[in-house]
Amino acid sequence: EVQLLESGGGLVQSGESLRLSCAASGFTSMNYVMSWVRQAPGKGLEWVSSIHIGGGITYDADSVRGRFTISRDNSKNMLFLQMNNLRADDTAVYYCVKGRSDWLDAFDIWGHGTTVTVSS
């Protein structure tokens, strides 16, 4: 079964850091663009970051650029999101998502999400 399992969420203070992890199973994640999408409480979906198949090319939303870093370990089928200098408006459920292909494409597999709460 194709599955994504996020971990690493929690409660932190404003200005602190957190590292999210996502374990992929049932497919070879290195063949796909992988991304993080977040959803603030009661709000809509917001794309956060994406990483190309080789890991050498990354893309970030303006709201997180310079603070968040996406990375991947293809040997372990893992995706990561290093979040630094967290702010209250980063509070959200963070979803690990798989793109349909090795380029920009729709997100066909979603994890269940991990909750990040930033207190000010």
Partner 1 sequence: EIVLTQSPGTLSLSPGERATLSCRASQTVFSSYLAWYQQKPGQAPRLLIYSTSTRATGIPDRFSGSGSGTDFTLTISRLEPEDFAVYYCQQYSSSPLFTFGPGTRVDIK
Nearest to partner 1 of 50, 91 (CB atom): 50
Cβ–Cβ contacts within 10 Å for residue 4, how many? 23
Calculated CA dihedral for residues 19, 9, 113, 81, nearest 10 degrees: -10
Q: Binding string to partner 1 for residues 1 to 40, with x set by CB under 8 A, is what?
A: ----------------------------------x-x---
> What does the radius of gyration of the chain's CA atoms come to, in whole angstroms?
13
> Segment contacting partner 1 (CB under 8 A): 13-21, 70-78, 84-92, 102-110?
102-110
Only one residue has tokens 């959200």, namely 92
Q: Does 57 bind partner 1 (CB under 8 A)?
A: no
Rounded Cα–Cα distance for residues 81 and 8 (Å): 9
**Site mask for partner 1 (CB under 8 A), range 61-100, x = bound:** xx--------------------------------x----x
Give the position of tokens 């690493």: 8
Q: Which listed residue (8, 9, 55, 113) binds partner 1 by CB under 8 A?
A: 113
